[in-house]
């Protein structure tokens, strides 16, 4: 075990408890709610829900997660049993905060004195990563943005609030030193009640030890008070991508300012039979006082293609040592059988579009639902206007039915990593074709003349192992016709960005006075032999 002291700490010890702030709301007996389920089948948040955070208010659990470069920003999810979650809204449903431009990460949801707060990370316009704050009277919003509360040259990320025994409000965050090859101290500092400024002296909790499992960083702090100790659950090492090595550790101290002791058995969680790179989460209790930790991990089958999915594991406390441990139950790490991965079908007959649809940050498409169809207005960006959804499996087929567009426009079905990396099948009034965008360079791979085809057309995209894409099309009521490419598939290995999964969606490219009309959209997971 190693101990860490703050070199600037001279005197005073502040013994802190978790009151009616976020942590108090998660663990206070007055706020413990009913949950009928005694075991959890994972993932509870299937698909790309990195850095999840959870809080409870009354009988309701509320969660949120990283958006990165996909809008609307920061989903607000609701559950009454920790197993079944639904998106009920977003923190920023229409546009990004005025001060921020990108990298919308790690939202931490808190409840304090009758308000909900979201502490989120974003890149300041022409500046570094900062921790921002937004608040609302209800979990579902509307949220008022208070702007950035802390910025550092190396970047400030992963904000978390806590109160001391006198009711003083503190912010805990990470300095993002790993972004330039430097250490990553965890900082703490008092914060005013308006969440607009930090006050008093900044102090360090602890930092990464490069020669241990933590590697080049520690981050994602979640704090709670239990049995006279503060416990900080945190993550270490490489979070993301095919070579990730992320894990969850814990440290404790009698006082928030330290000295902090890291558990000698760290990391508590890193890899299981079906999951890897577990990290960045928060805690909540059920009605029996059981602790559950909501965090993310990559499924070893879907990996980067389905992204960092939301899991829940139970935490128990060793009676002899007082240290926490993750309870090993098969249900905690069992991926649903492929037959359990849900299909998705949309005929666009509803009044509003489902809140699960997404678009690239800052490029919200113009669209409307009308006459049992989704009508999307084109734009001239590299991949066009985008409406997309998270993928839940590395093996699936997606289909869409649309009217053949007229004029200088192309519309279709696409797999999207980001606005610079995508591939898909589209149709114009002249041809149906497969296209690819890699590193912002667009090329047409194969095409078929369809000038004799009238009315509606159907397009299909088939994915195997997350990266092998094949395409076909048909006139309504006819057989599927493949668009043959070299090796019978297009390699989509390049699609996932370092921190995101692939989306599947609809794209419309062309003059902005043109629209495309989609009549149906389906995603069906495939069973492997």
In a domain? residue 9: no
Tokens 């704090």 correspond to 223
> Is the CB of residue 356 less than 8 Å from the CB of residue 389?
yes
Token pair of 390, please? 């998270």
The answer on 390 and 329 residing in a single domain is: no
pTM greater than 0.85: yes
Q: What is the pLDDT of residues 213-256, one digit of tens each?
A: 999 999 999 999 999 999 999 999 999 999 999 999 999 999 99
The answer on 266 and 348 residing in a single domain is: no
Helix (H, G, I), strand (E, B) or coil at 73: strand
The answer on 424 and 312 residing in a single domain is: no
Token pair of 341, please? 């991965």
pLDDT-based confidence at 119, cuts 50/70/90?
very high
The answer on 390 and 300 residing in a single domain is: no
> Is the CB of residue 395 less than 8 Å from the CB of residue 528?
yes
Q: Name the helix (H) or strand (E) containing 23.
A: helix 22-27
The answer on 385 and 331 residing in a single domain is: no
For residue 278, give the nearest of 315, 308, 302, 306 by alpha carbon: 308
Q: What is the pLDDT of residues 406-415, one digit of tens each?
A: 989 999 999 9
The answer on 476 and 347 residing in a single domain is: yes
Q: Which domain holds residue 288?
A: 19-336
C-alpha gyration radius of the chain:
24
Helix (H, G, I), strand (E, B) or coil at 513: coil
In a domain? residue 499: yes
Q: Kindly tell me the burial class for residue 74, based on how many C-beta atoms sit within 10 Å of its own C-beta (0-12, 13-18, 19 or more).
A: buried
The answer on 487 and 362 residing in a single domain is: yes
Q: Name the helix (H) or strand (E) containing 172.
A: strand 169-175
Q: Which residues of 253-289 are buried (b: 16+ CB within 10 A; e: fewer)?
A: bebbbbbbbbbeebbbbbbbeebbbbbbbbbbbbeee
The answer on 330 and 356 residing in a single domain is: no
> Is the CB of residue 46 less than 8 Å from the CB of residue 307?
no
Please count the CA atoms within 13 angstroms of the CA of 363 that sit on its side-chain side.
24
pLDDT-based confidence at 286, cuts 50/70/90?
confident
> Bigger pLDDT: 347 or 19?
347
pLDDT-based confidence at 27, cuts 50/70/90?
very low
The answer on 369 and 315 residing in a single domain is: no
In a domain? residue 12: no
Whole-number pLDDT of residue 407: 87
End-of-domain residue from the set 281, 314, 336? 336
Please count the CA atoms within 13 angstroms of the CA of 27 that sit on its side-chain side.
18
Within 10 Å of residue 406's Cβ, how many Cβ atoms?
10
The answer on 352 and 229 residing in a single domain is: no
For residue 386, give the nearest of 408, 356, 428, 418 by alpha carbon: 418
End-of-domain residue from the set 336, 366, 401? 336
Within 10 Å of residue 455's Cβ, how many Cβ atoms?
8
> Is the CB of residue 5 less than 8 Å from the CB of residue 258?
yes
> Is the CB of residue 470 less than 8 Å from the CB of residue 460?
no
The answer on 151 and 66 residing in a single domain is: yes
In a domain? residue 4: no
Cα 39 from Cα 81, distance rounded (Å): 10
Tokens 């090796």 correspond to 487
> Is the CB of residue 248 less than 8 Å from the CB of residue 239?
no
CATH number of residue 110's parent domain:
2.115.10.20
- Per-residue pLDDT, averaged over 456-472, amounts to 97
Cα 524 from Cα 228, distance rounded (Å): 51
Secondary structure letter of residue 68 according to DSSP: B
The answer on 324 and 374 residing in a single domain is: no
> Is the CB of residue 316 less than 8 Å from the CB of residue 256?
no
Within 10 Å of residue 366's Cβ, how many Cβ atoms?
13
pLDDT-based confidence at 529, cuts 50/70/90?
low
> Is the CB of residue 282 less than 8 Å from the CB of residue 54?
yes
Cα 329 from Cα 340, distance rounded (Å): 20
Residue 513 CB contacts under 8 Å (≥ 6 apart), including other chains: none
In a domain? residue 7: no
In a domain? residue 318: yes
CATH number of residue 439's parent domain:
2.60.120.200
Asked if residue 347 has pLDDT above 90, the reply is yes
**Number of structural domains found in the chain:** 2
End-of-domain residue from the set 336, 351, 383? 336
- Per-residue pLDDT, averaged over 499-510, amounts to 98
């Amino acid at each position: 075990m190693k101990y860490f002291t703050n070199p600037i700490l001279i005197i005073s010890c502040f013994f802190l408890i978790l009151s009616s702030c976020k942590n108090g709301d998660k663990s206070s007996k007055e706020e413990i709610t009913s949950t009928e389920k005694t075991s959890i089948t994972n993932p509870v948040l299937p698909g790309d829900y990195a850095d999840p955070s959870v809080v409870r208010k009354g009988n309701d659990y509320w969660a949120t997660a990283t958006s990165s470069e996909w809008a609307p920003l920061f989903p607000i999810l609701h559950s009454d049993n920790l197993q079944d979650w639904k998106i009920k809204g977003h923190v920023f449903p229409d546009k990004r905060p005025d001060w921020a431009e990108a990298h919308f990460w790690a939202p931490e949801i808190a409840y304090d004195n009758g308000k909900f707060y979201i502490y989120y990370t974003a890149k300041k316009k022409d500046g570094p990563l900062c921790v921002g704050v937004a608040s609302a009277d209800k979990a579902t919003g509307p949220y008022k943005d208070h702007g950035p509360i802390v910025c550092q040259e190396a970047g400030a990320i992963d904000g978390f609030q806590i109160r001391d025994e006198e009711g003083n409000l503190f912010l805990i965050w990470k300095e993002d030193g790993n972004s330039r090859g430097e250490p990553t101290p965890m900082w703490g500092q008092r914060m005013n009640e308006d969440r607009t400024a930090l006050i008093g002296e900044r102090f360090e909790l602890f930092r990464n030890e490069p020669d241990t499992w933590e590697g080049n960083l520690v981050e994602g702090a979640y704090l709670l008070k239990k049995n006279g100790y503060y416990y900080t659950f945190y993550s270490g090492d490489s979070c993301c991508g095919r070579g990730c090595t992320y894990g969850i550790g814990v440290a404790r101290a009698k006082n928030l300012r330290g000295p902090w002791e890291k558990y000698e058995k760290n990391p508590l969680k890193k890899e299981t039979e079906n999951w890897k790179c577990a990290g960045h989460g928060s805690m909540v209790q059920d009605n029996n006082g059981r602790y559950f930790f909501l965090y993310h991990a990559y499924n070893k089958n879907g990996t980067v293609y389905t992204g960092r999915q939301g899991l829940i594991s139970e935490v128990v406390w060793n009676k002899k040592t007082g240290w926490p441990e993750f309870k090993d139950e098969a249900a905690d790490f069992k991926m649903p059988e492929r037959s359990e991965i849900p299909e998705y079908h949309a005929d666009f007959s509803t009044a509003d579009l489902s809140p699960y649809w997404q678009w690239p940050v800052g490029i919200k498409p113009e669209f409307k639902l009308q006459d049992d169809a989704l009508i999307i207005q084109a734009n001239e960006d590299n991949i066009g206007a985008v409406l997309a959804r998270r993928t839940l499996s590395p093996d699936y087929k997606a289909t869409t039915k649309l009217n053949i567009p007229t004029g200088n426009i192309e519309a279709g079905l696409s797999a999207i990593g980001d606005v610079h990396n995508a591939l898909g099948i589209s149709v114009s009034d002249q041809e149906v074709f497969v296209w690819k965008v890699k590193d912002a360079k667009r090329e047409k791979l194969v095409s078929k003349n369809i000038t004799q085809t009238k009315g509606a057309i159907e397009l299909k995209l088939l994915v195997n192992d997350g990266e092998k894409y094949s395409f076909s099309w048909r006139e309504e009521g006819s057989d599927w016709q493949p668009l043959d490419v070299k090796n019978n598939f297009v390699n989509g290995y390049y699609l996932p960005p370092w921190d995101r999964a692939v989306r599947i969606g609809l794209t419309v490219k062309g003059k902005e006075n043109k629209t495309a009309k989609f009549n149906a959209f389906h995603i069906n997971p495939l069973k492997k032999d």
